[in-house]
């Protein structure tokens, strides 16, 4: 299996826990170093979706967590098709807060601060490539046990926060911290954070 755009290895850990033989490809050296520390049993390689450092038909599945919308999709799909065996699957997935829950909707709107969530997930369903059958999709609701501080620590790693000026990032995190301290569902220690994982799957043609 290939974890493409593996980052610090969060998805990699889950794949390894299922007993899968995983190769992780990540372009950023600092993220890759953290992945190697967290999941020392996997093979990690420097590379990107548009130039995957694997031979032809090397893997049965390519998993992509929170990264597919950053790819040059036509080029990446050609590369993914090259490294997949016939009948193998490309599986992009995204994890987001469940905005059907009222306090989550309010929290995420406050966090976006006028920006809109990328529409890439919906757009990806329309992606076509001659090497692949059409994408299927499904959604899975689940929760993570969190505290206000662990949630804010995660948000502080979002690209929007990282690339903002320090004072803007601090102000955003301050607003979110205040919301969590005043919201009855999150104000008293641990809470369940409602999430939705959207998963797409396309099979490589034989």
State the CATH architecture for 48-203: 3-Layer(aba) Sandwich (3.40)
**Tokens coding 3:** 């974890």
Domain boundaries, the chain: 48-203
Predicted confidence band of residue 119 (pLDDT cuts 50, 70, 90): very low
Q: Give SS3 for 201.
A: strand
Q: Mind listing the pLDDT tens digit for each residue in 49-102?
A: 999 999 999 999 999 998 998 899 999 999 999 999 999 999 999 988 999 999
pTM assigned to the model: 0.86
Whether residue 135 contacts residue 199, with contact meaning beta carbons closer than 8 Å, is answered with no
Q: Give the Cα separation of 109 and 119 in Å (integer).
A: 15
Q: Give SS3 for 117.
A: coil
Neighbouring-strand partners of residue 84: 59
């Amino acid at each position: 299996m290939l974890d493409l755009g593996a980052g610090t290895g969060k998805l990699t850990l889950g794949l390894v826990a299922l007993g899968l033989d995983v190769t992780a490809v990540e372009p950023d050296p600092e993220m890759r170093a953290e992945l190697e520390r967290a999941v020392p049993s996997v093979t990690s390689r420097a590379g990107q979706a548009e130039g995957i450092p694997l031979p032809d038909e090397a893997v049965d599945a390519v998993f992509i967590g929170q990264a597919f919308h950053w790819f040059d999709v036509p080029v990446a799909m050609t590369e993914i098709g090259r490294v997949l065996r016939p009948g193998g699957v490309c599986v992009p997935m995204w994890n987001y807060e469940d905005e059907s829950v009222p306090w989550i909707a309010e929290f995420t709107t406050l966090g976006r601060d006028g920006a809109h969530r990328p529409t890439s997930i919906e757009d990806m369903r329309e992606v076509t490539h001659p090497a692949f059958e059409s994408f299927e999709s499904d959604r899975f609701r689940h929760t993570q046990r969190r505290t206000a501080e662990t949630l804010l620590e995660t948000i502080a790693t979002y690209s929007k926060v990282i690339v903002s000026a320090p004072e803007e990032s601090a102000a955003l995190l301050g607003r979110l911290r205040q919301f969590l301290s005043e919201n009855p569902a999150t104000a008293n220690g641990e809470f369940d954070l409602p999430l939705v994982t959207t998963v797409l799957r396309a099979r490589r043609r034989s």
